[in-house]
Structure 1
Amino acid sequence: MAIDLVSRKDWGARAPRGSYTTLTSTKGVKVHYTGGRVEPAIVDDHAKCVAVVKSIQSFHMDGNGWLDIGYSMVACPHRKVFVGRGPGHLPAANGPGLNSGHYAVLGLVGNSGLVQPPDGMLYGILDAIAYLRDTGGAGTEIKGHRDGYSTDCPGAALYAWVQKGAPSPGGEPPTGPGPESHPVFSGRLLKYPPVLRGDDVRTWQAQMEKRGFTLDVDGAYGPGSREVCRTFQREQGLGVDGIVGKLTWDAAWEAPLA
């Protein structure tokens, strides 16, 4: 399956203080929100999403005394999914006695500021759930944190979405359009440095050339491709990081031509 993963290394995660408890299967996933204020500016700047995730990890480790961030995965407005504790590891965010029943997926919305999850975040949560099912033995249940634990989490907006069955925004497939619409994202992030080479790079470059950008369609993702990517991301209102993830890949075919 395609998912735009942000590895622990890429978001600058601190090393856990100890060993995780192994978790081989669960009933499903519980959805969370931050419980605090989330600045709406994160929608326009993915770097701010990274900063929020790092601050949550620090609070969990230094404030709660946990061995690591408490969530399994974290979804941001740019349809990027941060690896928290990851699949196969017991989370800590669901509450005492409840962590072995469900993985914990956080959507970066709060109780003030950004409270309504953008479509990209909902897709990211769905991507995280599918990933945990594929790689971590997650069951089919999708619950809110408040289901079984006394809390307002995941907030009114996210919980209403969960109660509806966590539908894809607009009724579209959560993994994006199929091969009939455009080439499916391979799941590999295209970024530089170092120079990445492959058919997926060439496919993306050829599409960007069709959109009017000037670049070498040589299958090598270097500084020139990165600058084209950044320019395109600015034009489309995406997080400007110069990395072709799923959101940027899909937009290359789906965004209207200027």
Structure 2
Amino acid sequence: MNIASTRGAKVHYEGAPVPSDLAKPENHPKCAGRVRDIQAAHLANLKENYSDIAYSFVVCPHGSVFEGRGLHKLQAANGNHQLNLNHYSVCAMVGDSGLTRPTDAQLGGIRDAIDLLRAKGGAGAEIKGHRDGFATQCPGDPLETWVNNGAPRPGATPAGISVSLSHVVAAAHTDPGAAQGHTSFPADVRPVEAALVAEGLLDPTFGSDGSFGAHTVDAYAAFQRREGFTGANADGIPGESTLTALGSRHGFTVAA
């Protein structure tokens, strides 16, 4: 079944023992076979009657992202039909024993998968654990804690880099109508510009001037649409949820 969009993605774990040494670099060649094993187990599950591996993507401890059902395909891992419609699924190769904590590379891979789902699959801003809205231990406490902390990329939020939401909003209202190069709050705007450049939405020519000008407004509106907002909610004026999402990926926190 094809789907146009979802609210976001849910994070899963295997829910079975995963060898502790799978994360060793020399064992990476085993990961592709493990994905095939998961697929085979799902296809053999007559109770669930899966047509393929249940997950949208699977991420190994080395950070590689393996395609499951992929983009714009209804996945089958979230618990029931409505939950499957609501979110894509990304499974980490960690388990309930052995390898139970995701590696930093794996967390980065999960974010890579989610960013792809947002950019190409119509996924919205939500990142949840499988247990959010469904009675299960999945995705395990370490991954659930990470999700509840905003699912940050490892090392993505260095101490001391903080952007004022009120300053950025004021700049977005003031800078486009001012003289060329006008800057209202450059220290707050520059991290946002850099993040939009990294997202591929803002031309680097305009990515470090500290002015929230018309190009930056257009780029931020594109980011809002990428996050699932439409109409007046995608006008290029930052809101708390989208600015926090942008910061969690690109190294800044958001203050009032």
TM-score under structure 2 normalisation?
A: 0.58
Cα deviation, residue 171, structure 1: 2.2
* Residue among 49, 73, 76 paired with 1:65: 49
* Corresponding residue number in structure 2 for 1:53: 35
* Residue among 38, 53, 75 paired with 1:91: 75
CA deviation profile, 1:139-168 (whole Å, cap 9, x unmatched): 000000001110000000000000000011
* Corresponding residue number in structure 2 for 1:5: none
* Corresponding residue number in structure 2 for 1:176: none
- Mapped contact 1:41–1:48 kept (Cα < 8 A): no
Q: Write the distance in 2 (CA, Å) between the matches of 1:129 and 1:60.
A: 22
* Corresponding residue number in structure 2 for 1:144: 129
Q: Write the distance in 2 (CA, Å) between the matches of 1:165 and 1:33.
A: 18
Q: Tell me, what secondary structure is at the counterpart of 2:72?
A: coil
Structure 1 portions without partners, runs of 5+: 1-20, 174-179, 185-258
- The answer to whether structure 1 residue 77 and structure 2 residue 64 are counterparts is no
- Mapped contact 1:35–1:153 kept (Cα < 8 A): yes
- Mapped contact 1:74–1:81 kept (Cα < 8 A): yes
Aligned sequence identity (%): 51
* Corresponding residue number in structure 2 for 1:40: 20
Q: Write the distance in 2 (CA, Å) between the matches of 1:158 and 1:59.
A: 23
Q: Write the distance in 1 (CA, Å) between the matches of 2:107 and 2:146.
A: 9
- The answer to whether structure 1 residue 165 and structure 2 residue 145 are counterparts is no
* Corresponding residue number in structure 1 for 2:139: 154
Q: Which amino acid aligns with 1:83?
A: E
- Mapped contact 1:61–1:67 kept (Cα < 8 A): yes
* Aligned CA-pair RMSD: 1.7
Q: Write the distance in 1 (CA, Å) between the matches of 2:157 and 2:59.
A: 18
* Corresponding residue number in structure 2 for 1:201: none
Q: Which amino acid aligns with 1:55?
A: D
Q: Which amino acid aligns with 2:143?
A: L
Cα deviation, residue 79, structure 1: 1.3
* Corresponding residue number in structure 2 for 1:123: 108
Q: Write the distance in 1 (CA, Å) between the matches of 2:49 and 2:34.
A: 18
> Across the two proteins, how many residue pairs are aligned to each other?
155
CA deviation profile, 1:26-73 (whole Å, cap 9, x unmatched): 000000000000012221211221122111101111124200000000
Greater RCO, 1 or 2 (C-alpha within 8 Å, sep 6+): 1
TM-score under structure 1 normalisation?
A: 0.58
Q: Which amino acid aligns with 1:163?
A: N
Cα deviation, residue 172, structure 1: 5.7
* Corresponding residue number in structure 1 for 2:119: 134
Structure 2 portions without partners, runs of 5+: 159-193, 199-256
* Corresponding residue number in structure 1 for 2:9: 29
Q: Tell me, what secondary structure is at the counterpart of 1:106?
A: strand
More helix by share: 2
Q: Which runs of 4+ in 1 moved over 6 A?
A: none
